[in-house]
Amino acid sequence: MYKLIKPVHGVNGSPISIAPGYPDLEDQFNEMGIPSIRAHDLYGPGDIDNGTHDDLETSQYQLLLMVPEDKKGHGRKVYADLTNKRSIFPNARNGMKNNSFEEAVSQANYEPTDAYFRKIINNERNSNPYLKREVMCRIGRSLLGSANPPENFQIYAMLAAELVKRYSVNYMNIGMKSPVRYYQIWNEPDLGGFFANSDPNVYYEFYGTVAREIKKVAPNVLVGGPSVAAGQEINSPYGRGFLQACKAKSYPLDFYSWHLYLHDKADPVQVAASAKLNRSLLDVLGLNHVKSYITEWGMTPYTTHETQNKMQSAKNAAFIIQSLIFMVYRDVDKAFYYRADGGTLGIFNDENRYTYPAQAFYLFNLMFETPYYISNIDIQLENARYGYIELEGRSESHSSPRRRKLLVSTYLLDKNFLKEEYQSKKYRQYYLDTNRDVDNIQDQYSIDKWFGGKNPKNMYSKNIKKEINNNHGPNPSNPEYNRYSFSGHNAIIQDPREPRYATAYIITEGGQLDNIRPSPVVSENIKRYPVKTNIGISWKVVVENIPKDSVVLLDVEYS
């Protein structure tokens, strides 16, 4: 039985410059065909409140990773001011403390979020022609925003409802072509750095309060959570415990969200295993209607100069494709890679217009021209032991489609790849422009660009408070899987019909990066020949000897 490939190639990050020093990537996001963008860690836009301090260790500030050492001290203030001033409700904390919704909602800074959401949704000139771009709004704070739970859950829920009214009900009033349809409530509450309360019942109550208030305003939007950090630990308080609480208390829950970073065992087989575990958990609990979303995933969450470069390698491109293919085979409904812009762990750099991972998203998006596939997960799990898996797409759901495509990844697990001593190609990276104090950004271009037209000198935040230090984060473990050595692989499409034409593209280290389309496989390396079978002659189209840690897309059309 043929199934439709699911659009699991959503991302975290923004096609719009996230801060001074970072690029606009609207054309690149469109060319990659990104269908879904999770508005998280945009450093202000999309955040109800923040409370970022400027006196933490420099290494904790994501956007300062590549900043020259002598600029990082001042960079902390630029980072904190940018994040705090661009968040939406500067008086949220005082209003909650004083039990006053009117105070909490007063003097709102909607302009930055308006500008980002409008541009992200409206800018799809060359985007995926088969899917409409969507935004998931994460209710909460960007990285290093206060980890203190909101002081008044009901008022915070009412602030969330104000966002929903603006971006899902009255969205046309601010020039958005379509509404925000997805709201995720908080991020990684199982980590003390995001939700500093070790009692999971506190988060359950918070989630239920916000979800119910959102549904009052817009019953048709989809709500979910908790974006649990340890997505493979399904029996944790934020896995099974959260789902049982939602069911027992009838909290609205349209999707269950979880994260998966594989650290030193960056093995896409674990993506398949975790996806199966989470879908099975939902079904066992009678939550068959609840979707399974991976709202963050990637090789690693650890940010260093080395990992930044490795995220832009051909090996990571092969990892991304293998993971996306496993998400297709397993029942994942949506997924959001972290992250696809020029931010920390992002796939773009300041040296090339494109990167190998960007090309990987482009090739995956091309599979929607041939969107029908047959699931053969057991075969692919076995193939992964030898360092390759594949996904075949057909243009029609019958035995004689006019077009067939084969997407192949030859990623091979290497436990040393993410270690500092494993050297990868170095790229010039983007970083926060710390030469500009936020209050001194007065040129109209910059005010429009990063603040939605509102002068940052007139913006402020009263949400800063001394942090509760309550680190209750889990230490996720990833199981081992047997692996064998890579011995080469061919991409093969076989059909009784003689092909009208065949073409192929390859992503491999050293390939061209001047275009979103990867290097073509030269025609003489695409073999096509007839073979005898027990039912007559069949035609094979073959790309031979695909290198390790590469991606190939073979495209064949028939008369």
**482 or 151, which is more confident?**
151
Question: How far from the centroid of its chain's Cα atoms is residue 204's Cα?
Answer: 24
**Mean pLDDT across 280-304:** 96
Tell me the per-residue pLDDT of 434-446, one tens digit each, with 9 for 90 and over.
988 999 899 999 9
Query: What is the rounded distance in angstroms from the CA atom of residue 10 to the CA atom of residue 294?
Result: 10
Q: Does residue 176 register a pLDDT over 60?
A: yes
Report DSSP letters for 158-208, one per residue.
Answer: HHHHHHHIIIIISGGGGT-SS---EEEE-S-TTSTTT---S-HHHHHHHHH
Query: What is the rounded distance in angstroms from the CA atom of residue 44 to the CA atom of residue 117?
Result: 12
**Mean pLDDT across 490-519:** 96
- Work out the pLDDT band at 427, boundaries 50, 70, 90: very high
Q: What is the DSSP letter of 536?
A: E
Query: What is the rounded distance in angstroms from the CA atom of residue 86 to the CA atom of residue 354?
Result: 29
Query: What is the rounded distance in angstroms from the CA atom of residue 158 to the CA atom of residue 61?
Result: 30
- Work out the pLDDT band at 94, boundaries 50, 70, 90: very high
Average per-residue pLDDT in the chain? 93
**Mean pLDDT across 159-166:** 98
**Mean pLDDT across 40-69:** 94
- Work out the pLDDT band at 475, boundaries 50, 70, 90: low
**What is the pTM for the complete model shown?**
0.96
Q: What is the pLDDT of residue 471?
A: 66
**Mean pLDDT across 349-367:** 97
Say whether 307 sits in a helix, a strand or coil.
Answer: helix
Q: What is the dihedral of CA 535, 556, 392, 531, to 10 degrees?
A: 30
Domains and CATH numbers, the chain: 2-458 (3.20.20.80)
Tell me the per-residue pLDDT of 8-35, one tens digit each, with 9 for 90 and over.
999 999 999 999 999 999 999 999 999 9
User: Which of 429, 383, 433 is CA-nearest to residue 408?
Assistant: 383
Query: What is the rounded distance in angstroms from the CA atom of residue 66 to the CA atom of residue 80?
Result: 17
Query: What is the rounded distance in angstroms from the CA atom of residue 4 to the CA atom of residue 144?
Result: 39
Tell me the per-residue pLDDT of 105-115, one tens digit each, with 9 for 90 and over.
999 999 999 99
Range with the poorest average pLDDT among 111-120, 167-176, 228-237, 263-272: 263-272
Q: What is the pLDDT of residue 476?
A: 67
Q: Does residue 478 register a pLDDT over 80?
A: no
A 10 A CB-CB count for 249 gives 12
Q: What are phi and psi of 102, to 5 degrees?
A: -60, -40
Q: What are phi and psi of 429, to 5 degrees?
A: -105, 160
Tell me the per-residue pLDDT of 388-414, one tens digit each, with 9 for 90 and over.
999 999 999 998 999 999 999 999 999
User: Which of 74, 43, 76, 44 is CA-nearest to residue 59?
Assistant: 76
Q: What is the pLDDT of residue 535?
A: 81
What residues contact residue 163 under an 8 Å CB cut-off, 6+ apart? 48, 88, 137, 139, 183
Q: Are 129 and 37 in contact (CB under 8 A)?
A: no
- Work out the pLDDT band at 523, boundaries 50, 70, 90: confident
Q: What is the pLDDT of residue 126?
A: 56
- Work out the pLDDT band at 419, boundaries 50, 70, 90: confident
Instruction: Give me the half-sphere count of Cα atoms (radius 13 Å) on the Cβ side of residue 23.
Output: 19
- Work out the pLDDT band at 505, boundaries 50, 70, 90: very high
**Mean pLDDT across 422-440:** 91
The residues that bridge with 526 in the sheet, in sequence order, are 543
What residues contact residue 181 under an 8 Å CB cut-off, 6+ apart? 134, 135, 168, 221, 222
Tell me the per-residue pLDDT of 195-242, one tens digit each, with 9 for 90 and over.
998 899 999 999 999 999 999 999 999 999 999 999 999 999 999 999
Query: What is the rounded distance in angstroms from the CA atom of residue 11 to the CA atom of residue 36?
Result: 6
Q: What is the pLDDT of residue 123?
A: 80
Tell me the per-residue pLDDT of 99-137, one tens digit each, with 9 for 90 and over.
999 999 999 999 999 999 999 999 866 555 667 889 999
Q: Does residue 320 register a pLDDT over 60?
A: yes
Q: Does residue 450 register a pLDDT over 70?
A: yes
